[in-house]
Every structure is written in C-alpha cells, then in structure tokens.
Amino acid sequence: MYYLKNTLFLNLTKNQKASLFGFIKSFVKKYKDKTTDEILDLYIEEEQYYHEVNNPHFEWVIPEFENEKFLNELKTLINENKKQLELKEKQKPFLEKQKELAKEQRKKAAEFKMSKEKPTKKQLYYYDKLCKQYKIEKEDTAEKSRLDLKNMIGKILDEQQEPAKKGFDTDI
C-alpha cells in the first residue's frame, strides 16, 4: 500500500491524498462484497449526493470525476484495498493461533515467575481462612511458592464448589 501513495494521485496535496486513501479504505471495507466498478460507482454517487446537499466529504473531488486518469487511479486504489482485505481474512486463523500461543507463553512466564517468589501475606491469610471455613487441615506453607499457594487455594475452592454444581442430585 505504501508504494501506491508514491505513484497514485500525484496532483493532490499530501492531506488530500491521505484523507482520500483513508476514506476509500473504509468505503471498500463497507462494500467488500461488490465489484471494483460497483464500488467506484457507489463512491461517485455518494460524493455527488453529498455535494448536492452542500455537505461534501471532499470539495475538490467532484471536478476530478471528469478526469479519466483520476478514475483509473481510483480503481487501482479500490482494487488494492480489496486485495488487502482478502489477505487479512486469509491470515485471520494464523493470527488467532499466534495470539493463543502468545497468551500461553505469557501464562507460563507468569507461573515460572510465581514459582520463584514467596507467597504474599494476602495469600497466606486467605489460605488460613479457607482452611478454617471448610475445616481442612492446613499444610506447611513455609517452603511453598506463590504458585504452589495459588494452586492449593484453587484446589480448595474447586472441591468446595463441586457439590454446589451438582445441585439437588447429591446423596439422597
């Protein structure tokens, strides 16, 4: 896309070119199922409509619709945006997989870090309260890490919530 900015619409100013590129990109995204010619016709219709109601997106674009070179460059821009959208759609599963892998790596890194740290006072206090509440014998936490305590607390909570999940089907 970058090379297009250097080759298309050389007669426009930098701001005009940037605003046109951004608008066409969103316009193509809106009508991605249509052909290039249909998108171009819709764009011209919309710009002429907004010009007639004295609220144009770009005042300078209406006279340019008479210029064949401008229309060809606009078609090229629309085609390139359509290709970009298709490429993005094809890459979506790969990007999702990458996100999942990155998420797993972050989780492993956090767990590794926690395994090297001492448990916090809040964790110790919460563990003590849970053991008292559910009348569970406390384990020695002197040599435990933050990760160990987190897993112990999670185990207690899971065990205590299992009977509640079963509902009325408990021992009769």
pLDDT in tens, 48-104: 999 899 888 888 888 888 889 999 999 999 999 999 999 999 999 999 999 999 999
> The tokens of 76 are what?
């090229």
For 98-133, write each residue's pLDDT tens digit: 999 999 999 999 999 999 999 999 999 999 999 999
In the three-class reduction of DSSP (H, G, I as helix; E, B as strand; rest coil), residue 113 is classed as helix
Q: How far is CA 70 from the centre of its chain?
A: 34
End-to-end C-alpha distance for the chain, whole angstroms:
69
Residue 69's nearest CA partner among 143, 9, 144, 156 is: 9
Q: What percent of the chain has pLDDT over 90?
A: 69
